[in-house]
Structure formats: structure tokens, C-alpha cells
């Protein structure tokens, strides 16, 4: 399993140059080493020591993994600062987890209360996956998303709360985060286009109306200018030029 973890890092991180650098300078790899020791002691039923190992690992790496969590082979925690993985969480093989990710619970219930991740899952920076939910194989979770429901395999999830925005992830590069859809912007654009269509219909109705010229002139005078607001909305939807 150690060799698999090392090989995965070299495959996914172009900054990894040699095994010595990975061993001493990659907190995600170090956290997994400590966790595998703590989990082995935890399964033996030894009190205190597994939690102390986990606490020491958190102090050293900034990554908190409960000794009870099940972590598969080939898992890569990239950078990793602020990652929290709960006691009953299960992380499948070859998962990729970025900094600030939380695999946590939603309350004080007992039993299975943390998420289960399938194999080849990618969890973007700052994402929160909460509760006893199932995340299928080859799922991509966008940065900053909050996932509260089960997610089927081969999909992409973004937003708060997380929504499926893409099916069939088999052919995509898991590191192409720039290709994740902006669902909120798409919805706002659709609403914006609908408002413009309604405004056009309203103008056509006003042209057909039998209003007196003076009343029509007053209404045209008081009509708000929307050019500036339209430009602001377009800039927002286009990422303000970024």
C-alpha cells in the first residue's frame, strides 16, 4: 500500500521529483502514514494511543483523520491543510482530496454518520461532504461545494447545496477543474434572458396601446435606463473579464 501511495503521488503531482522529497515534504503522505498506524492500533482496541497518534499527526501536518476512518490504497491528499476526515468515513481507492476538505457528520447521531467515497473520487478544495451519504465511483466534487445527498457514479457535483451538473466522467481528466460548470451563473443568465424577453414584449404592448401621446411621453421619460445594469450583469456572468 505504501508503494501504491507513492506511485499515485508521482502520477498526479508534477512537482514530485523524488521519493525523499515526497517522504519528508508532503504532509498528505505523512498524514496517511500516521493514520495507517493509528488505524491498526484502533482495530486492536488499544485506548488513547490511536487518538494521540492522530492528534500528533494533526499537529505535524494540519490534517485530521480519525483513527476509525477507512482509507483505501492510492489515496492522495494534495497540500492537505485543514482536511478533516471523520470516524466513520470511508475513502475509496485512488481518491484525490484537496486542502480544506471536510468529510464530516451532520449531528450527534451514533453509528455510521460520515460519508462513503467510492474509488477515483476527486474532492475539490474547501468542499464539504456531510452525513452518512454515498459518493459513487469517479465522482468529481467542485471546490467549495457542500454535498448533503447521495451522488451517483460518473458525475460532477458543484454548488451549495451540491447538484449534479454532468454525467459520464469516464473520458475527462480529473485535474481539469476549469471545465466544471458554473450552475449558478447559468441559471442567472437564463433568468436574465427571460427578463429581457418580457421587457421586449412589454414594449411591443405599449406601442400597440391606445395611450394619449402625453401619457406615453411621460412613461418614456420615467422609464429606467437598463443599459448600465445590463452591462454589469453581463460582466458578472462572464467572470468580470477574468
Residue 128, domain CATH: 2.160.10.10
Please give the torsion angle defined by the CA atoms of residues 19, 24, 30 and 34, in that order, rounded to the nearest 10 degrees.
110
Q: Which helix (H) or strand (E) holds 31?
A: helix 27-43
Domain boundary among 179, 205, 233: 179
Structure confidence at residue 161 (pLDDT): 86
Domain boundary among 148, 179, 210: 179
Domain boundary among 179, 195, 230: 179
Tell me the whole-structure pTM to 2 decimals: 0.76
Mean pLDDT for back-to-back runs of 10 residues, the chain (242 residues) = 80 83 89 95 95 95 95 92 95 94 86 93 94 94 92 90 76 58 72 84 78 52 57 64 48
Dihedral sign for Cα 187, 135, 58, 177, please: negative
Structure-block grid coordinates of residue 49: 494511543
Do 163 and 196 lie in a common domain? no
Q: Domain limits at 204? A: 183-241
Number of domains in the chain: 2
Kindly state the DSSP code that residue 225 receives in the 8-state scheme. Answer: P
The answer to whether the CB of 35 falls within 8 A of the CB of 67 is: yes
Do 127 and 228 lie in a common domain? no
Do 200 and 83 lie in a common domain? no
pLDDT by residue (tens digit) across 38-86?
A: 999 999 999 999 999 999 999 999 999 999 999 999 999 998 899 999 9
Amino acid at each position: 500500500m505504501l508503494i501504491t501511495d507513492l506511485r499515485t503521488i508521482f502520477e498526479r503531482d508534477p512537482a514530485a521529483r523524488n521519493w525523499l522529497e515526497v517522504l519528508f515534504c508532503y504532509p498528505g503522505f505523512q498524514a496517511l502514514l500516521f493514520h495507517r498506524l493509528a488505524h491498526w492500533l484502533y482495530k486492536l482496541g488499544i485506548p488513547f494511543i490511536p487518538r494521540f497518534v492522530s492528534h500528533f499527526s494533526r499537529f505535524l501536518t494540519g490534517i485530521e483523520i480519525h483513527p476509525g476512518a477507512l482509507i483505501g490504497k492510492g489515496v492522495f491528499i494534495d497540500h492537505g491543510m485543514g482536511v478533516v476526515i471523520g470516524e466513520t468515513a470511508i475513502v475509496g481507492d485512488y481518491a484525490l482530496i484537496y486542502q480544506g476538505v471536510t468529510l464530516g457528520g451532520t449531528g450527534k447521531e451514533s453509528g455510521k454518520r460520515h460519508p462513503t467515497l467510492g474509488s477515483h473520487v476527486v474532492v475539490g478544495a474547501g468542499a464539504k461532504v456531510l452525513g452518512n451519504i454515498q459518493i459513487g465511483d469517479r465522482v468529481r466534487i467542485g471546490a467549495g461545494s457542500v454535498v448533503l445527498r447521495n451522488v451517483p457514479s460518473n458525475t460532477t457535483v458543484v454548488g451549495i447545496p451540491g447538484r449534479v451538473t454532468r454525467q459520464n466522467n469516464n473520458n475527462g481528466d480529473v485535474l481539469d477543474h476549469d471545465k466544471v460548470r458554473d450552475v449558478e451563473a447559468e441559471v442567472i443568465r437564463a433568468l436574465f434572458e427571460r427578463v429581457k424577453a418580457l421587457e421586449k414584449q412589454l414594449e411591443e404592448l405599449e406601442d400597440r396601446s391606445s395611450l394619449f401621446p402625453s401619457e406615453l411621453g411621460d412613461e418614456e421619460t420615467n422609464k429606467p435606463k437598463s443599459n448600465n445594469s445590463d452591462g454589469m450583469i453581463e460582466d458578472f456572468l462572464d467572470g468580470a473579464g477574468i
